[in-house]
Amino acid sequence: MAIVPSSSKDVTFTFNGTNLSEWVTAPPNYKLNAAMQTWTPPSSAFPTTHDTGQRSVENVQVTFIADGAAGGPNLKCATGTSSTMTTVIATGQSIAGTFVVASQEVQITDGDTLLVVEFFGSGTITWDLAT
Amino acid sequence: MAIRPASRKDAQVLVGGYDCTPALDAVGFKEVAGLATFNPLGPTGVFPVIYDTGARSAELTAAGLLDGNNTTLSTITGTSAVAMVKFDSDVLNRNAYCFRSATVSETEVLIADGDMTRIVPGISVSGEFNQGYIVAPLIARTDGSNTDATYADAEAATISPTGAHAFLNVTAIALGGYANCLITVRDSADGGAHADHTAFTAVTAIGAEYKYMAHPVGRYISVSWAWVGGAPSGGHSITFSVAYARD
């Protein structure tokens, strides 16, 4: 079965109702965790692992070109904003959920000024990576 | 004795009936023995003594491209799967590292500017791990038959003193009108006539399964596959791999 890979050119990033892709210099990475319970019964050589059903997503960091315009990342990603984040990985593949802006950091560089935003996931994260 | 090194081209990773190999560029396996260090008193205690507690744990790691056609390693479902990792080519009698219950417990999607989207799954292994042998390489097979003439030799006692373990991965099946395909592990004590020993659950779709083979189990192992029932119309084919390990 042929694989169906994708690349950064297939990615779009939307938060707080706005497609912010054109400002993104460092795309988000996502990590989803399942809380596992592991124990080794006295009679066993190997541990037993059980999926508790609990899930968590690690904090997401996105770097933008800083832009204070009305539809730009500075305002759309104001600290404390809670809204839906949708990252389309490729056609038919996306990661989405409610995220809260935990921090904004302005980085003045030799190039354009950058805005580094950290998001905390809140509640259900939909993980759909099948085409 | 000449060495026989292996490289990335020799690796194959089968998980839950999916051949994950084409989308991976890294796979790793580690087995750890639970050791206890003891420093005795007296003259014998100049150096510590190491005892093997008998406890074992196994780790399976992988990394590669996000594949929209196969989300086995990129999605947490909570479902465990039989995994089979071959480092030394998918060839009869070569090693297969087999996991009875591998669960994707974390998955990381890495998006980098100008690069392919990658995944790094975290895989939790539950229960025993077995280092076994390839009995049937992963190839497509059509009409029912067996591998008695090309059996796997576990190079152990003629009869296994305890039981054994069999692992199946089916990566493709076209029933062609049949109701199912029955794959059976066969054995022989002396390399002569083989007989059915343990059958896997009748196969109707891609998937993977582990079966325990009760004692006695002969030294020489083969498999058979037979198409069952239904109204055959032609075009039947099944792609599967079987690995085997002694207790």
User: Which of A3, A36, A46 is facing B127, going by the closest CB pair?
Assistant: A46
* Amino acid found at A47: P
A-B Cβ pairs (cutoff 8 Å, strict): 132
- Answer whether A90's CB lies under 8 Å from A67's CB: no
**Closest CA–CA distance from residue B142 to any residue of chain A (Å):** 18
B106 close contact with A: CB closer than 8 A: yes
What is the distance, to the nearest Å, from the Cα of residue B10 to the centroid of all Cα atoms in its chain? 15
pLDDT band of B92, cuts 50, 70, 90? very high
Give dist(CA B204, CA B197) in Å, integer.
21
Q: Residue B112: list chain A partners with CB under 8 A.
A: 8, 27
Please choose, from the candidates A31, A34, A95, A97, the residue with its C-alpha nearest in 3D space to the C-alpha of residue A58: A31
Give the CA dihedral B34, B37, B38, B43, nearest 10 degrees. Answer: 140
Question: In this complex, do A29 and B109 lie within 8 Å of one another by their Cβ atoms?
Answer: yes
- The contacts of residue B132 (CB under 8 Å, 6+ apart) are B95, B96, B97, B98, B165, B167, B243, B244, B245, B246
Instruction: Specify burial of residue B85 (Cβ count, 10 A radius: 0-12, 13-18, 19+).
Output: buried
Q: Across the strands, what pairs with B152?
A: B221
User: Which of B105, B110, B112 is facing A34, going by the closest CB pair?
Assistant: B105
Query: What is residue B157's predicted lDDT score, i.e. its pLDDT?
Result: 64
| Strand pairing class (A93-107; A48-57) | unpaired
**Closest CA–CA distance from residue B18 to any residue of chain A (Å):** 9
Q: Residue A30: list chain B partners with CB under 8 A.
A: 108-109
Question: In this complex, do B74 and A53 lie within 8 Å of one another by their Cβ atoms?
Answer: no
- The contacts of residue B7 (CB under 8 Å, 6+ apart) are none
Question: In this complex, do A3 and B22 lie within 8 Å of one another by their Cβ atoms?
Answer: yes
Q: What is the pTM of this model?
A: 0.86
If you average pLDDT over residues B187-215, what whole number do you get?
95
Give dist(CA B27, CA B12) in Å, integer.
9
B99 close contact with A: CB closer than 8 A: no
Residue A75 pLDDT > 80, yes or no? Answer: yes
B33 close contact with A: CB closer than 8 A: no
If you average pLDDT over residues A74-94, what whole number do you get?
95
User: Which of A1, A87, A89 is facing B66, going by the closest CB pair?
Assistant: A89
pLDDT band of B14, cuts 50, 70, 90? very high
- The contacts of residue B215 (CB under 8 Å, 6+ apart) are B160, B161, B162, B163
Give the ipTM. Answer: 0.78
